[in-house]
Homo-oligomer: A and B are copies of this chain.
Amino acid sequence: MSEDGTTGRLRLYMSMSLDGFIAGPDDGPGRGLGVDGEPLHAWLGGGGVDPGSHRPAGAGANTRVFDEMMSSRAVITGRRTFDYAGAWGGDHHDGVPVLVLTRSQPDEPSAGPVRYVTDVAQCVALAKEAAAGADVMMHGASAAQAVLAAGLLDEVEIHLVPVLLGRGRRLFDGLPPGHVRLELLRSLQGQGALHLRYRVLSGA
């Protein structure tokens, strides 16, 4: 059980432009934000391959949201995000389990806290079990779409960035017909991003 007495939630964290992009075009290994996508992460601190190195300075909304994200006890990530990020050097934060949602198992076996999973429901179940009642965070557009389509996403925290990218990779794309209702739980204004937390009320 988590601090507020509820079971752990699966929450997607993604920086998104007002026009819905989470990366510019031509994203790839070492350039996960693609061409001209840098404004999406301007609210974060400068850093390296270690996610924790990007903690925003100060005590404002950006830092608060970042710290909440890093207090999660398991990570689900899409394969693309994981590979582009160089596996975060082997540890996302605090050695928590990292479940990589992938279409096919890689030739190299999982190592350390990393485990590759091909089934969406199994991936979420393993992550929630590993988090032992604490929250699970997730990254990645394709993985998010898969979890959303399966009706397994509990919350979405969008870092809404005041920019129109015009092209690139969209966070919400290829959803099945039938709309998904959300409930705005919280809105926090940080420098360079408005942090919007939604509960997912109905699956796609």
> Hey, which bits of chain A sit against chain B, CB under 8 A?
17-20, 36, 39, 148, 158, 160, 162-167, 170-172, 175-184, 187, 189, 194, 196, 198, 204
Q: Can you spell out 30 A-B residue pairs with CB atoms less than 8 angstroms apart?
A: A18-B158, A18-B198, A19-B170, A19-B175, A20-B20, A36-B178, A36-B179, A39-B179, A148-B164, A160-B196, A162-B181, A162-B182, A162-B183, A162-B198, A163-B179, A164-B172, A164-B175, A164-B180, A164-B204, A165-B179, A166-B172, A166-B176, A166-B177, A166-B178, A166-B179, A166-B180, A166-B204, A184-B189, A187-B187, A187-B194
Of chain B, the residue at the smallest CB distance from A204 is B166
Contacts of A17 in B (CB 8 A): 179
Q: How many copies does the complex hold?
A: 2
**Bound form: Cα–Cα A18–B182 in Å:** 9
Given A17-B179, A20-B170, A166-B172, output 10 extra A-B contacts at Cβ < 8 Å: A36-B179, A148-B164, A160-B196, A162-B181, A162-B182, A162-B183, A163-B182, A167-B175, A187-B189, A194-B196
Residue among A148, A165, A166, A184 having the largest count of chain B Cβ atoms under 10 Å: A166
Q: How many Å lie between the Cα of A19 and that of B167 in the bound state?
A: 14
* Nearest Cβ on chain B to A192's Cβ, whole angstroms: 9
**Interfacial chain B residues near A167, Cβ < 8 Å:** 175, 177
The contact of A172 among B18, B172, B196, by CB within 8 Å, is B18
Alpha-carbon distance A182/B165, docked complex (angstroms):
11
Cα–Cα distance between A157 and B177 once the two chains are bound (Å)? 27
Provide the bound-state CA to CA distance between A171 and B177, in Å: 19
Contacting residues, chain B, for A36 (C-beta < 8 A):
178-179
Complex A-B, nearest 9 residue pairs according to Cβ-Cβ distance, in ascending order: A19-B172, A166-B175, A162-B182, A164-B180, A20-B20, A165-B179, A162-B184, A163-B179, A36-B179
